[in-house]
Amino acid sequence: MMKHLMFAALALLPAAAQAQAQEETMKITFTLGDTVLPATLDDTPAGRDFAAMLPLTLTLSDYHGIEKVADLGRKLDSTGMPASYTPKAGDITQYAPWKNLALFIAPFSDSRGLVRLGQFDGDFSALKASGDIDVTIAVAP
């Protein structure tokens, strides 16, 4: 009987861990005109610091066809974060030395000073438009 209870308890652990992981993230949106891009911020000092700045309206500029960038005006709290990060397409980051928000539309190499904040939850192709893009970033309703 005790074995069965233990196995039942162990079987519930993944569900509990998944529920906890869902509670430890924050859903946000990037609105570009009529297009809304859902995203999730990581539960990190940098992710929470960025969330505290929302809502924000920024103008994103193209940076070498790899990322869209905008000045955040300050470094986010990167306590305990790695000194570098290798971004993937869809990552939301800050390049701390320049205080830039950097939204990766293509993967890139490991970059010192790059801090991951979160990622887009699905299609983010609207960010691939050429030229500057005005965006409003807010906590999801």
When divided into structural domains, the chain yields a total of 1
Asked if 134 and 106 count as a contact pair (C-beta separation under 8 A), the reply is no
Q: Does residue 75 sit within a domain?
A: yes
Q: How confident is the model at residue 110 (pLDDT cuts 50, 70, 90)?
A: very high
Check pLDDT > 90 for residue 84: yes
Q: How confident is the model at residue 16 (pLDDT cuts 50, 70, 90)?
A: very low
Q: Does residue 40 sit within a domain?
A: yes
Asked if 52 and 65 count as a contact pair (C-beta separation under 8 A), the reply is no
Tell me the sheet residues that pair with 59: 134
Q: Does residue 11 sit within a domain?
A: no
Range of the domain at 78: 25-139
What type of residue sits at position 41? L
Nearest-angstrom CA–CA distance, 134 and 56: 11
Q: Does residue 19 sit within a domain?
A: no
Q: How confident is the model at residue 1 (pLDDT cuts 50, 70, 90)?
A: low
Residues 97, 139, 101: CA angle, nearest 5 degrees: 15
Q: Does residue 10 sit within a domain?
A: no
Q: How confident is the model at residue 17 (pLDDT cuts 50, 70, 90)?
A: very low
Q: Does residue 20 sit within a domain?
A: no
**How many other C-beta atoms can be found within 10 angstroms of the C-beta atom of residue 14?**
9
Whether omega for the bond prior to residue 55 falls within 30 degrees of 0, making it cis, is yes
- Domain of 81: which CATH number? 2.40.100.20
Q: What are 36-75's pLDDT values in tens digits?
A: 999 999 999 999 999 999 999 999 999 999 999 999 999 9
Check pLDDT > 60 for residue 27: yes
**pTM here?**
0.83
Q: Does residue 43 sit within a domain?
A: yes
Could you tell me the CA-to-CA distances from 29 to 7, 39, 71, 75 in Å, in that order?
40, 6, 18, 21
Q: Does residue 92 sit within a domain?
A: yes
